Amino acid sequence: MLWFVPSNEYIFLPDPPRAVEPLVHVPGEKDTDEQGGIYMVDIFVRKANLLERIFPGIHSGASLVPAKAVNPVGVSEPERIKQSQEEMSQSQQVAAAVALRYLGYKVPVKTTGVEVTAVFPGTPADGKLDVGDVVVRANGKTVKTTDDLRQAMSAVQPGGTVTFGVRRSGGVQDVSLKTIESTEEPKRAIVGVQIDQSATIDLPLDVKIDTGSIGGPSAGLAFALDIVDELGKDVDDDKRIVVTGALDLDGRVAAIGGIKQKTIAAHDADADLFLVPDDNAADARRYADGLEVVPVSTFREALSSLTSR
């Protein structure tokens, strides 16, 4: 009976890696019979039942997560899924732009600020910022990219105040927030939001990526590596390369969630290598069990780490 009674928590489970090549279609891509390939890895997320709530260890690699950490207050489950899919769509455009620029294509990009994609409950942003707001200023400094916002926030001490210029319907409004200290990075000031690049990207090639219902930004690095591989540069060298990492327009690889489950899934899939963001490497190694973890901070570093092996 406990199998069928839902709890108020979610369960994160490993999900087998997926080959990226069948999902990515690029004009002029090469057609080869490779033994290895680039693989993306996601996590399986659903509401835990009461039995799983009491005995989470019945599933290998499972983690229980409070509902409010998965669905911020005021965000319904359908809204969370929609946001996640929008993040996936944006990550695909960014990945294509980064890869094609590396290959020498001109990719016109107009950065328009930093979009708020989630507001976490109980934080300074709760009730003051909304999903869909676009930050265009921080303490008087223009914000066009996620890196602009990070740099502006780096000058703020926890407990200090930051004033954002926020574009929303009706124009740009100033919103002042008192910051708090990050629980993951002591001494770093945060306001409690998840962000993504707001930009208009004009791709010179008609790159299509079909991931179905999978959401989130963490496959960006895998997409970009596969696009380079499909357009003629052998990236995987017949190795099974599992990759996770969100990608910024400047090629920076950003940290992702669910690293425990993703590492276990990569290990169980007999990956030769597991590429992860620098910020996730320490946690990935805790669960690697012999799997080689390769930390990277930029797209070019990821390419270099593969082509030099």
Strand partners for 252: 298
Which CATH number do you get for residue 277? 3.30.230.10
41 and 130 share a domain?
no
Angle 88-185-68 from CA coordinates, rounded to 5°: 55
Q: Which of 86-90, 147-151, 161-165, 288-292 has the lowest mean pLDDT?
A: 86-90
pTM for this entry: 0.78
What φ, ψ does residue 162 adopt, rounded to 5°?
-125, 140
Which CATH number do you get for residue 181? 2.30.42.10
Mean pLDDT of the chain: 87
**Please, which residues have CB within 8 angstroms of residue 145's CB and are 6 or more apart in sequence?**
111, 114, 197, 248, 249, 250
From the number of C-beta atoms within 10 Å of its C-beta (0-12, 13-18, 19+), residue 80 rates as: middle
101 and 245 share a domain?
yes
**Please, which residues have CB within 8 angstroms of residue 201's CB and are 6 or more apart in sequence?**
93, 94, 96, 97, 107, 108, 109
95 and 235 share a domain?
yes
Segment 226-236, tens digit of pLDDT: 999 999 788 98
The three state secondary structure string of 122-150 is CCCCECCECCCCEEEEECCEECCCHHHHH
Domain boundary pick from 181, 200, 219: 200
- The stretch 69-77 carries a mean pLDDT of 59
157 and 188 share a domain?
yes
pLDDT class of 210 with cuts at 50, 70, 90: confident
218 and 193 share a domain?
no
101 and 210 share a domain?
yes
Separation of alpha carbons 94 and 299, rounded Å? 12
Domain boundary pick from 149, 180, 200: 200
Looking at the structure of the chain, the number of domains it has is 2
Strand partners for 12: 45, 63
**Which structural domain, as residue segments, surrounds residue 23?**
2-70+77-106+205-307
Cα Rg of the chain, angstroms: 20
